[in-house]
Amino acid sequence: MSSRETIVNGAVRVRFAPSPTGALHLGGARTALFNWLFAKHFDGTFVLRIEDTDQERSTQEAVETILKGLSWLGIYWEEGPRDGGPFEPYFQTQRLHIYKKYAEQLIKEGKAYYCYCTTDELKKEREKAAKNKAAPKYNKKCRFLNAEDAKELHVSRRNKVLRFKMPEEGKTIFNDLCRGEVKFENELLDDFIIMKSDGFPTYNFAAVVDDHLMEISHVIRGDDHLSNTPRQIQIYQAFGWNPPHFGHIPMILGKDKARLSKRHGAQSVTEYAKEGFLPEAMVNFLARLGWGHKDQEIFSRKELIELFTLDKVTNSPAVFDSDKLTWLNSHYIKESLPERIFDLALPYLEKAYPKLKLDDKDAAGIAYLKKVITVLQERLRLITDIVPASEYFFKDITSYDEKAAAKHFKGEETTKILEDLKRSLSELKTFDKPSIEDVFKGLAEKLKVKLGGVIHPARLALTGRAVTPGMYDVIEVLGKEKVIERLEKAIKFMG
């Protein structure tokens, strides 16, 4: 069944609900992207909700980092933090009174009960289950307390929690938009906690209340949440609410098929931004983690919105490939306007070369830098590559690549090539690429050597390297004065 066939009344409302306990990592970013693309595809609404009920680990700094990461990716929300909306507040810690109200309703209707079991009692139950090689499951002791015992415990024990009464038989069945029909045996699911002793809700309870009140039509999330779905559906049914459509996307694995982590090279979204990745490369990369359209690899944002549906999401885990991400980034760098790369590269260059502090009045400096970036742009994998790639444009040559020097800096013939090249270039009245190319070709013909016999020693002399962008482009950007100076230095080095 296609996602389009599951739309109810044509109104699509999705949400991304991160916990602010750390930075926005690739898994969360992909979930946000899939929700955003789904909303845009159906002209729906993308809601951002902050699930900050973990008071020990949630921080405002993490909230800001998540918002910054989403903004960098170009994932903007119609409702949520900063912008508000008709169902605010969008922070769960500001909605505690709402959860309390609905929890009291379940108690009143006999669909939830207080559990007075101590930590030690629950620990012993888990140890007993482990010993019997059984899945840990609450024994429902407090579910069947008589009124007198329950009243006594309610007074004597402060650390009580609220548990939901799960059906003891039957099945919870739902149609997953990515996986098809999914069934859970109710007897295998325990009476889970919905309100903790500190008055804060658990994830399953708060998510259901919020999703219902915020009129969320589709819940799209990682398949690690699949086991939460039957519990949430039972809460919906207890309130008499219609549950949303659920779609569980596959987890992301490393190349070793283990769950993605830092050891696979995965970082937070903001770290990727600092390293010189472009947002469109990251969006393209994330979109292809578990979703695809034929054999197409490159997608514009517009294409993604037009093509994205959940029926194209695979069930098998997606594999993180850092080489693919870097390849995509190099593609988008090549496709970008030089002016954009200039703006992105400038902070890195100014940090690497303190003397390069440019202002709007330094027309010559800006023009030179733009030429450097234009020459190097085709070869950049990351924006940060501009620093090592451009070094010979901003620093004097202090050494030569040893392997290349052993091959290209030897014999009187090479010395003569560089001397003749210096003389011919110094005589040029117009120091541009066509004129420089004519000099090289003319010199190779005159000295009866292959063109590479002139280019290779010249490249080494002018950059200290064996590999660079096109030599004629490099020479034009360096300028006559610097080129002559470096050729003289190389000739002395050889002599």
Q: What is the pLDDT of residue 10?
A: 60
Q: What is the pLDDT of residue 9?
A: 52
Spelled out in words, what is the top-level CATH class assigned to the domain 3-81+206-253?
alpha beta
- Over pLDDT 90: what percentage of the chain? 83
pLDDT tens-digit readout, 419-439: 999 999 999 999 999 999 999
pTM above 0.85, yes or no: yes
Phi and psi (nearest 5°) for 194?
Answer: -115, -25
Residue 158 reports pLDDT greater than 80: no
Instruction: Give the mean model confidence (pLDDT) for residues 97-102.
Output: 98
pLDDT band at 361 (very low <50, low <70, confident <90, very high): low
Residue 40 reports pLDDT greater than 70: yes
pLDDT band at 4 (very low <50, low <70, confident <90, very high): very low
Instruction: Give the mean model confidence (pLDDT) for residues 330-346.
Output: 96
* Cβ proximity of 177 and 218 under 8 Å: yes
Alpha-carbon gap, residue 120 to 283, rounded angstroms: 47
Q: What is the pLDDT of residue 89?
A: 98
Alpha-carbon gap, residue 206 to 198, rounded angstroms: 14
* Residues assigned a catalytic role: 262
Alpha-carbon gap, residue 228 to 196, rounded angstroms: 17
Q: What is the pLDDT of residue 153?
A: 87
pLDDT tens-digit readout, 230-262: 999 999 999 999 999 999 999 999 988 888 887
Burial letters for 401-410: b for 16+ Cβ neighbours within 10 Å, e otherwise? Answer: beebbeebbe
Q: For residues 360 and 416, which has the higher predicted lDDT (pLDDT)? A: 416
Q: What is the CATH number of domain 102-195?
A: 3.90.800.10
Mean pLDDT for all residues in the chain: 94
- Over pLDDT 70: what percentage of the chain? 97
Q: For residues 26 and 126, which has the higher predicted lDDT (pLDDT)? A: 26
Q: What is the location of CATH 3.90.800.10 in the chain?
A: 102-195
Q: What is the location of CATH 1.10.10.350 in the chain?
A: 397-495
Q: What is the pLDDT of residue 1?
A: 38
Q: What is the pLDDT of residue 360?
A: 63
347 CA to centre of own chain: 22
Alpha-carbon gap, residue 175 to 15, rounded angstroms: 19
Alpha-carbon gap, residue 52 to 210, rounded angstroms: 13
Q: What is the location of CATH 3.40.50.620 in the chain?
A: 3-81+206-253
Residue 348 reports pLDDT greater than 90: yes
Instruction: Give the mean model confidence (pLDDT) for residues 320-326.
Output: 96
Query: At the topology level of CATH, where does 397-495 sit?
Result: Arc Repressor Mutant, subunit A (1.10.10)
